[in-house]
Structure 1
Amino acid sequence: MEKNFLIGIPGVNYFMIAFKVPFAQILSSPNGALMMEKMLRKYVVPELRGDNILLNTNVPEYILTSAGLNKWQYVKPISSTVSPKKKRRGNHP
């Protein structure tokens, strides 16, 4: 989910819309929230038909609602913010 929107029916099936840049990196940029909102409108909203919902929990809820998603169209986010993963030092896998 770091670079993908997951869309589908919980516990049944899903598909991914993949991006090259992690969402945390996008959101940390000055216009990140606006960029994410545009991505949701362009790629996710058209796929939310039938029982499909957005399964990501790493997109802040205020961005989901500003992109036009209703509460029944997404899984409740874990956090209102997204922070980038910390890089490991040394020879850790």
Structure 2
Amino acid sequence: MNIELKNIKHAGYAKNAGHGGSTDYYHKDAKGKELIRDAEDYTKSFKKLDDPFINMALEEKIDDLLYDHLQKKELEKFNKKLAKITENGIAYGIPNDSYSYFTFNHSMEKFLNNIKGIEHIKNLIRDKIIPKLGSDKIILNTNIPEKLLLCIFR
């Protein structure tokens, strides 16, 4: 058996008031009731991560899956915004966590297509970004040629 979030309303629905209480779940119909009963039995075979002597409950599995789902959506949103920023600038920071950036009036592509633009990028990285990198931060752009970055970091 594989328990996953595909369509929350397929077998039933779950809700949590967000006040520290448990997540409640309900079946939608007779088939949902049977699926939920099977899922409850299945999750009892797992041990809780924080206490290996206690079995996991279905509500915990639902919470874990929903948390993972929301984290994935947040990461997608983060990366989409980062990609938009790097079209017209340089972003640096901790991958999949946080970033700062400098933006341009023109696209990165336009800067990379002329000598003055390339020099501007080199100077910006060398003078403004490298001093802020530290041990955990990196340049997050994927649209700056590696050859250019290697030239700067030498």
Q: Same fold (TM over 0.5)?
A: yes
Q: TM-score, normalised by structure 2?
A: 0.40
Q: Structure 2: which 5+ runs fail to align?
A: 1-85
Q: What is the DSSP-based 3-state SS (H/G/I as helix, E as strand, rest coil) of the residue aligned with 1:57?
A: coil
Question: Mapping of 1:1-93 within 5 angstroms?
Answer: 1-68=86-153
**In 2, Cα distance between the equivalents of 1:30 and 1:10?**
29
Deviating 4+ runs (over 2 angstroms): 30-36
- Higher fraction of helix: 2
Q: RMSD in angstroms over aligned alpha carbons?
A: 1.7
Q: Kindly state the Cα deviation for residue 48 of structure 1 after the two structures are TM-superposed.
A: 1.0
Distance 1:37 1:48, change over 3 A: same
Deviations 1:30-88 (A, max 9, x none): 4443332222112221111130111100000010011116xxxxxxxxxxxxxxxxxxx
Q: What is the DSSP-based 3-state SS (H/G/I as helix, E as strand, rest coil) of the residue aligned with 2:131?
A: helix
**In 1, Cα distance between the equivalents of 2:121 and 2:104?**
11
Q: Structure 1: which 5+ runs fail to align?
A: 70-93
Give the aligned length.
69
Q: TM-score, normalised by structure 1?
A: 0.63
State the partner residue of 2:39. Answer: none
Q: Percent identity?
A: 29
